[in-house]
Amino acid sequence: MTDRLDAVFSALADPTRRAILAMLLEDDMAVTDVAEPFQMSLAAISKHLAVLAEAGLISREKRGRVIWCKLEPDAMRAASVWMQGFGQFEPLDLDAFERFLARELQAEAQEDG
């Protein structure tokens, strides 16, 4: 369990990966669509997606020639349950988390544009 939590928190530590998760809250996306808003190579995005997949935060599925990414919220729930064990944290409100991620993505887009 500790290794899984380490992977989740490590994945969440990167702002690009958090932005990707925010995008995937809306719907499944092709890897090329995930990469589109970022100023980095497809290979770099693929590395970020690999970290998210290894943490269990997303899954990837090949449909024809296209690789699709899907949000897997169970890993986030496990991290939330772990944090709740300290009694200092409120339960994770996934709707509020979605709004937070959307604001972060919008702020980054405004900084870049």
Helix, strand or coil, per DSSP, at residue 59: strand
**Per-residue pLDDT at 95:** 78
- Side-chain-facing half-sphere of 10: CA atoms under 13 Å: 15
pTM: 0.73
Domains by residue range for the chain, with CATH: 2-73+91-108 (1.10.10.10)
Give the pLDDT means over successive 10-residue stretches in the chain (113 positions).
85 95 94 95 96 96 95 86 72 77 83 73
